[in-house]
Amino acid sequence: FAPLNSDWQAALKDVRSVIADALQYAPTQEEIDREVAEFDVIFASEVEQRSVQAGAKLADTLIDAVDIRETVAAPEVVLSVFRNMNHRFNPEEFLARTRALFEGSVIRAVFVTPDAEGASQQDLRLAFETPVEADPSARLAAKTISFDELPPVGEPGEIIGERAIGLLGVEQVDFANGVKVLLWSNNAEPGRVTVKVRFGAGYRAFEPEDAPYVFLADTALVGSGLGELGQEELDRLATGRKLGFQFGIEDAVFTFAAQTRAEDVADQLYLFAAKLGMPRWDANPVLRAKAAAGLAYDTFSTSPGGILSRDLEFFLKDRDPRFSTPDPATMELATPEGFRGVWEPLLRQGPIEVLIFGEFDRAETLEAMRRTFGALPVREKLPPEVETRVPSFPAASVETQVLTHRGDANQAAAVVAWPSGGGVADLRESRQLEILTQIFNNRLLEAMRERAGASYAPQVVSDWPTDLPSGGTIMAIAQLQPGDVPTLFAEAERIAKELAIAPPTEDELARVTEPLRQLISRASTGNQFWLYHLEGASNDPRRINLVRSLLNDYTRATPENMVGLAKRYLGARPGWRLAVIPEGQELATIGAVRPMRPMQGPEIIGR
C-alpha cells in the first residue's frame, strides 16, 4: 500500500485493523455474492468470446500454466467448475480460509521510501508489534446500487439525422445537441461491444502550469466519481456487469473507452455521459494519485527506460511543460481544488463523437443514446487559441541532449528523431511513410548487430497525428551499452542519408509490405481495427474514403516514392539526438566505441 502522506505508521495501523476485522468477523453473504458475480461475468464473457480468442493469447496462457505447474481448461469448463462451487461461497468457509492465510508467526515487511531516514528496521518492527483493534468501518456497505436508482442525465435527446456512411454496415446518427454517433452492429466478435467516446481538445487544452493536473488525471479523473457516486459506489454499481472506464489524453481529443457486452451497453453509456454531464470531484483520488506520483518519481531514474518514460515526450515536444512529468516539489503544490479548476471546464468543451462497434441491438442502443449522450446540454466551443495549438519539434542541431540514470553502469539508451507531418490531408502519405520506416528499421537492426556485435533490437517508429496538421515524428530508439550509443547515432544518420539518395531494392520493399499485408488482413477481422480507422469520421468524412485505400497504401510502394519521402523527412535536416547514460560517465565518442566482437555461434535465449 502507498500512504497518502509521510505518516506511514498510521497507514500501516489502518491496514492491520482491516486485516484484524477480516480475521475476527466473516463477510456478509451479500459481500460474497458481489465478488462472485464479478468473476461469473468474466468467465461467462470468456465463453461468449471463445471463437474470437487470439491464438497468441491462448499460447501464452498455456505456457504460463506449464511454467507454474497449473492446468488449462476450456472456457466452458472453467465456468462450469466455478458455478458448481457456489455452495462453498459462504461466510463460514470464507472466514476459515481467511484465517488460514494468516496462520504462523513469521511476518516479512518491505518498506520502500525516498527518504533513507524515514524509518528504521526497529521502527518497522515496533509498528508491527503494536496491538490494533478490528475496524469494521472499512467494509463495503451492504446495499447494492442499481442503475435504475440513479438520476437521469437529462431529458432524452432528439435524433435529427440517420444515414449509412457507405462503408461496411456503419451508420452515423446525429443528435440535436450536436453529439454524433458512429455505430456498427455485427456478429464478428460474439459477446463483445467496443464503446469509445472522443471529446474536447486533448493536450491542446492545457496551459504550461497545468502539467501536474495532466499527470494526475490518468488515475484521479475517473476515480473522483460522478453524480453522488464515488469510486466505492461505482465498484458496487458494476456488480454482475461487464463495464469499463479507460480515460486517455490524445493529441487533440480526450477519450473514454470500454469493452462491454450487449446487455450492459446502456449502463456503459450512462457512466460515460454522466461523467461529462454531472461529474463528481472527490478529493481522495487526487490525494492518492499525488502520493503515488511522489513515490514513483525517483524510480524513473533507476534505468534508461525509466528516464525515457519520464522525459522523452517533454524533449521531443521542444520542452513543452504540458508534456513534462512533474517532480515531487511541483506535485506537492497540486490540490484537489486546482484539479477541479482545470478539469471541470474541459469536460464541458468541444464536440462529442461516440463510436459503438460490436454485437448489440441497434434500436435499444439508440434509445440508450437518447437517454444519455443525447440528453447532455449543448457543448461549449473550444477557444480559438486552443484549436490552433500544435506541438513544436526541437530546432536542428548537431548537439546531443544527454540525460543520466542511477541504474546499472552497463545500460544506456539512445534516440534519434526527425519531424514529420500530421493531419488527414496527407494520411495516405503517412502510410507510405510507415513502409519507409520499416525499411529503416530493418537496416538499422542489421547495422547495429554488425557494427556493435551484440543482439540489440533497435526500433524505428513513425507517429503521425491525424487530429493535428503537424507534430509527427520518425524516431529510432534503442537500449544498449553506453559505448555503443555513438554507433547508433552514426548508423541512424548514415541510413537516413542513404535512403534519401538511393532507392531501396524491390526485395527490401517486399520484406516490409508482405508482413504489413498479413497484419492488416488479420487485424481487419476485428471491430477495433475499423473503429480505430473511422475515429473522427463523423466530423471529417474524408476519413471514410481513406479507409478504402488503406490496404493499397500500406502494401504498394515504389522505390522512387521511398526516395522522395526520405528526402522530405530524413534528408532535410540532421536528426535530433538524445542519450541516456549512467551517472558519472561521459558520453562516448565514435572512436571510443568498443571493438566489434568476433562472430560466434548462435546465441541461446530462453529456457
Q: What is the pLDDT of residues 549-577, one digit of tens each?
A: 999 999 999 999 999 999 999 999 999 99
Q: 196 pLDDT exceeds 80?
A: yes
Q: What is the pLDDT of residues 484-539, one digit of tens each?
A: 999 999 999 999 999 999 999 999 999 999 999 999 999 999 999 999 999 999 99
Q: 294 pLDDT exceeds 80?
A: yes
- The residue ranking higher by pLDDT, 29 or 607, is 29
- Start-to-end Cα distance in the chain: 34
Residue with cell 507517429: 463
Q: Kindly report the CATH class assigned to 159-387.
A: alpha beta
pLDDT score at 605: 29
Cα 281 to Cα 283: distance, rounded to the nearest angstrom: 6
Predicted TM-score of the model (pTM): 0.88
What are the backbone angles phi and psi of residue 352, rounded to the nearest 5°? -115, 130
CATH, domain range 400-592: 3.30.830.10
Per the CB < 8 A criterion, the answer to whether 176 and 392 are in contact is: no
Per the CB < 8 A criterion, the answer to whether 363 and 164 are in contact is: no
C-alpha cell at 596: 566489434
* Ranges of CATH 3.30.830.10 domains, the chain: 159-387, 400-592
Cα 306 to Cα 582: distance, rounded to the nearest angstrom: 12
